[in-house]
Amino acid sequence: MTLKKTAAGLALLTMMITGAACSSAPKQAASPAPTAAASAAPQATAESQDAVNMKGYIAARIAEEKAEYLFAEAKSKDGGFILNPVAADSKEKAVKFLSNYYDAAMADKLAAHYLTDQTADGAIVTNKTSFFPTNLLDSKKEDITYDTANTKDQVKFTTKDGVTVTTKKVNDKFVLADIAKK
């Protein structure tokens, strides 16, 4: 019995010494002194215009994809296109959905172009004719010519088939502001 008490006491003493040694480690070891490399922390670099241009291009492609999702994906029982009921069931909800990808004026133009006065299966029938003069989803970045006057807040580019696209930054993200064949 004494041997068990001694072993238990020795184990307890060892754990206490180890715990004390760990908790009283020198403060310098925990937080080393700053070195020249650490004191010369890298400065936040400005985003290159090429990166901004790519963000504008991608935003335009996403915007077109969302318009197709909203207006040209869902079909009624008779096979005609209807406003996608998953995303919206009224013009107001369609414009609100689009405002995540288009500026306000463009969202209104798209809704006016696509939404008709007809209904089918309880949903608004949509116009079959595309609003877009080109299919950006089929374009490649190599087919795009960026405007040299682009800024961090506006990106304008032209497709190989002569369509000019303008995206602008709204609430810190790019949205489609204009698309037209020149």
Q: What is the pLDDT of residue 3?
A: 47
Model confidence band, residue 98 (pLDDT cutoffs 50, 70, 90): very high
In a domain, 11, yes or no: no
Q: What is the pLDDT of residue 46?
A: 76
Q: What is the pLDDT of residues 47-74, one digit of tens each?
A: 899 999 999 999 999 999 999 999 999 9
- CA-to-CA separations, 38 to 32, 44, 122, 172, in angstroms, rounded: 11, 15, 64, 31
CA distance 64 to 34: 51
CA distance 5 to 1: 6
In a domain, 7, yes or no: no
In a domain, 144, yes or no: yes
In a domain, 159, yes or no: yes
In a domain, 1, yes or no: no
Which residue type does 72 have?
A
pLDDT of residue 92 exceeding 90, the answer is yes
Q: What is the pLDDT of residue 1?
A: 52
In a domain, 118, yes or no: yes
Identify whether the C-beta of residue 155 lies closer than 8 Å to the C-beta of residue 166. yes
Q: What is the pLDDT of residue 141?
A: 87
Q: What is the pLDDT of residue 42?
A: 47
For all residues of the chain together, what is the average pLDDT? Answer: 85
Q: What is the pLDDT of residue 49?
A: 96
Q: What is the pLDDT of residue 68?
A: 96
Q: What is the pLDDT of residue 157?
A: 98
Q: Which residues neighbour 137 within 8 Å (Cβ) at sequence distance 6 or greater?
A: 61, 64, 65, 68
In a domain, 42, yes or no: no
Identify whether the C-beta of residue 167 lies closer than 8 Å to the C-beta of residue 177. yes
CA distance 63 to 49: 21
How many domains does one find in the chain? Answer: 1
In a domain, 6, yes or no: no
**Percent of the chain whose predicted confidence (pLDDT) is above 70:** 75
CA distance 121 to 91: 16
Expressed in angstroms, the distance from the first to the final Cα of the chain is 98
Please give the residue range of the domain that contains residue 127: 49-181
66: domain CATH number is 3.10.450
